[in-house]
Structure 1
Amino acid sequence: MELLIGEPLALDLLNTRTRDLDVLDTPGDFQTWLARQAGRLTAPGGPLTPGGLAAVRRLRAHVATALDAVREGAPPPAAALAAINEAARAAPAYQVLEWRDGGPRLSAARDGDPLAVLLAQLAEAAAGLLADPAVTRVRGCEGPGCVLLFLPAHPRRRWCSPDLCGNRVRVARHYQRHK
């Protein structure tokens, strides 16, 4: 499974669907994606049910709709914002004070069932991206047929990955020159 991982979490969520694959079609593929997001998300205790996968797909669709609007310079549809906010509210975050290693430590926790926690984390990541002025720099890959999104660290970046689409484009260019 070749997926673009390491972009802002909201973009990684949108990039779970490629031209040939939707990670949210099977619990196993989604579990692999969650494992690759270690440290960024609290994974549910086990594989998501078909209903849980459908809930993540619905949230992903609302995030995509909102991001498309913002990238076009328009306000996101109210329904998309409402769905993102509802998911974020479903598992409120709070801080827990613990005493470890002889001193105080704050850690984050959430109330809610594992699916609600996952959806809240994804929704908050989406809200953070949509509110960030950098959202206007989000680009789509210029690779033929590629639908992945990225936030370029360099203004000349054109592909989701130089190793994936960038290499394909360079090989195609080379082939055309030497044909």
Structure 2
Amino acid sequence: MVSPEAEARIKRLRFDTGAAWLDLIATVGNAYGTAPVERLSSVTRFREWLNAEDLLPESDPTEGDLARARILREALRSLALATVRLEPFPQDAVDRVNEFLTEDRTLVLATESGGLQVRRPPDGQAALGRIARQAADQLAGRSASMLRTCADPVCGLLFLDPSGRRVWCATEICGVRHRVREHRRRKASE
């Protein structure tokens, strides 16, 4: 049985991976455990996520956009895991991401509130195209060598690690959980 605090933590959106496309992958909690949790459970939740990523489109996201986001997420997960594991890239995932790249629009600068901003994507498809572009740029560039997975096998969160020293997605979550398990294992063997 999972405590209410643990359930809330599992369901919370993550924005600590280093890139929007990796944050999209992180919208499944415990993705590699026995009970994955869908964090993009509704269009409202997807809208929240897009807004937090500064990708909220001018028109409201739809159910179709949410379904497409989940498809893109799984294709990106396949490519990211292949990168980390030094495995061949699944061609179906490459093809899928390429489909999303066709929805990418040219970025346009706008002056708003006295500063420069990139204009919001016009719709959900264009927002997903931007995410696909960021992933393609990073997976095919130098950032690919910075891609890591959390050492907790149930978590397995993918993140960018420019320092090359991170082991856990979040020391205060997975790192602490690991230390507690190790402490219990040592105590049990005494």
Normalising to structure 2: TM-score of the pair? 0.73
What is residue 89 of structure 2 aligned with on the other side? 76
Q: Distance in 2 between matches of 1:146 and 1:98?
A: 41
Task: Give the 5 Å matches for 1:52-71.
Answer: 52-71=65-84
Structure-to-structure mapping, 1:133-144, within 5 angstroms: 133-144=142-153
Partner of 1:176: 185
Change (3 A) 1:177 1:63: same
2: distance between equivalents of 1:107 and 1:5?
21
Which of 12, 21, 27 aligns to 1:2? It is 12
1:53 deviation in Å?
A: 1.1
Shift of 1:14: 0.9
SS at match of 2:108: strand
Pairing partner for 2:42 from 23, 26, 44? 26
- Higher mean alpha-carbon deviation, 158-167 vs 80-89, is at 80-89
Identity of aligned residues (%): 29
Show CA shifts across 1:12-64 (max 9, x none).
Answer: 111111224212332233233233323xx234543x33322111111112212
Deviations 1:63-104 (A, max 9, x none): 122223333335534433333233222242143576996xxx
How well do the aligned residues superpose, as a CA RMSD in angstroms? 2.9
Q: Distance in 2 between matches of 1:152 and 1:171?
A: 24
The alignment of Structure 1 onto Structure 2 pairs a total of residues equal to: 172
**Structure 2 counterpart of 1:126:** 135
- Take 2:74 and 2:89, find their aligned partners in 1: how far apart are those partners? 12
The TM-score, its normalising length taken from structure 1, stands at: 0.77
**1:158–1:91 Cα change, 3 Å:** closer
